[in-house]
Amino acid sequence: MLCLSCGVQYKKVDAGTCRECYEEASETKEELKREIEDLKAKVAFLRLWNPVDPKFPNTYTDLLLYAVSDSGDTSIYTLTAAVAAHRAVLICRSPVFKAMLENEMEESKTCTIKIHDVSYDVLRTFVKYLYTAEVLLDEEMACNLLVLAEKYQVKHLKAFCEKFMTSKVNRENAIVSYVFAHQHGAKQLIETALSLIVDNMGVLTQRDEYKELVEKDPRLVVEIYEAYLTRALNTAT
Amino acid sequence: MLCLSCGVQYKKVDAGTCRECYEEASETKEELKREIEDLKAKVAFLRLWNPVDPKFPNTYTDLLLYAVSDSGDTSIYTLTAAVAAHRAVLICRSPVFKAMLENEMEESKTCTIKIHDVSYDVLRTFVKYLYTAEVLLDEEMACNLLVLAEKYQVKHLKAFCEKFMTSKVNRENAIVSYVFAHQHGAKQLIETALSLIVDNMGVLTQRDEYKELVEKDPRLVVEIYEAYLTRALNTAT
């Protein structure tokens, strides 16, 4: 028979679907593609301007964000250049900013938010994401943004960074990723890293980061061994 | 053979695709569905609050929009209640608002925009769409919003209304829709309405709205006859 999709002859044993199902599936595919186009247009419409783009200098911002480098003494710190933003947008994107800005907190009174322990570059990227849902990630940026997204409860960004980091887990970074994921409640990343660790127990338990983890957080190591045991028992049965 | 999709036996003559293509198509479908989920999450993230929802009374708006009912004398008009909004959002969504608000025009100085010839309800719905890309349309609202969307160059909303109106064209409203579509440069609606008119020339040329159109805008009637002629000639060959 001739396959209606690829146009190649096939034998009875390699048969897939009837003509009706093939036609239905083609229609469904076209419908899904149209839905994707519609959603892409909606995203383009809803996307705000890039607030750190110098082409948009004058958009009536009413708030400044600063990245703060802490020294040991918490009363001494250095501010970077400011990133200007809109209260209304921040309130909409993050329940933490909402609480901060809608109540009579210092941030609301001074129209200033200080973000600790991030670089200016990460802050800019974070604010840009809040406006555009766009970011070009590398592993370091994903890690930094996930921390910020968790702190300010920007779920969409956290999920995006976690997905990216999950795609980058390998034998080399599995333990570090696993620890990081635990610290920030990134379930998908925990699972992927744990599975990779269990696959490579012999090698990874020789590593320095394993030994450090035993010292610093032995409960996490117990979890690893429990997962290892579960798999061993399942394989046995 | 047994169809892998619907599970029903079929004959050679009803064969669709080979197994490989069926499996590939299933994977593609799953991928498209995942993409749709991702895009939906992005839309939900980018969507701003509903500015006319009384639950969000305090979002630092810096602009008021009024619906204006004109009397014959342009210096006398009635304002409805105001819809509060953000300059930054309006600038982002409409090049017309951008020009208005970024230059030293009256609207910018007074922080007030008057929208003529719309009801308060249409104005609220329009502003809500600028924030949320959400609207529940009926034919009248689609018509009103399309006019506003064209005036303020909100392409996404115009396309959305046009699509809705196109889906509602029938023999009863074909001529009215055709005229409306011409007035507002709605190409898709023009085509659909024209095609329906040409299909029903005998009936529709008896109608009052046809006779009115001959009086008011005979060029549009010529276009209808040209389309009719083209189809007749094509059918003949």
Q: What is the pLDDT of residues B52-74, one digit of tens each?
A: 887 765 678 889 999 987 765 55
- CA nearest to B204, candidates B225, B180, B235, B226: B225
Are the Cβ atoms of B60 and A23 closer than 8 angstroms? Answer: no
Under 8 Å CB pairs connecting chains A and B tally to 164
* pLDDT tier for residue A33 given thresholds of 50, 70 and 90: very high
- CA nearest to B155, candidates B191, B184, B198: B184
Are the Cβ atoms of B48 and A92 closer than 8 angstroms? Answer: yes
List the Cα angle A19/A25/A30 in 5-degree steps.
130
Instruction: Measure CB to CB from residue A16 to each of B4, B49, B59 and give the nearest one.
Output: B4
Mean of pLDDT over chain B: 91
Token code pair at residue B230:
């083209």
Q: Is the pLDDT of residue A234 over 60?
A: yes
Q: What is the pLDDT of residue B199?
A: 94
For a pLDDT cut of 70, what percent of chain B falls above it? 95
What HEC string does A39-60 produce? Answer: HHHHHHHHCCCCCCCCCCCCCC
Give B178-224 as a DSSP string: HHHHHHTT-HHHHHHHHHHHHHTHHHHTTSHHHHHHHHH-HHHHHHH
ipTM, two decimals: 0.85
Q: What is the pLDDT of residue A49?
A: 84
Rounded to 10 degrees, the C-alpha dihedral B103/B106/B107/B111 comes to 100
- Burial class from Cβ neighbours inside 10 Å (0-12, 13-18, 19+) for residue A181 reads buried
In this structure, the strands spanning B112-116 and B63-70 are parallel
Q: What is the pTM of this model?
A: 0.87
Token code pair at residue B79:
């304002």
CA distance B19 to B21: 6
Q: What is the pLDDT of residue B57?
A: 58
pLDDT tens for A66-125 read 998 776 555 666 677 789 999 989 999 999 999 998 887 777 778 889 998 899 999 999
Q: What is the pLDDT of residue A19?
A: 93
For a pLDDT cut of 90, what percent of chain A falls above it? 75
CA distance A62 to A84: 7
Q: What is the pLDDT of residue A60?
A: 82
Are the Cβ atoms of A156 and B42 closer than 8 angstroms? Answer: yes
Neighbours of B119 (CB within 10 A): 12
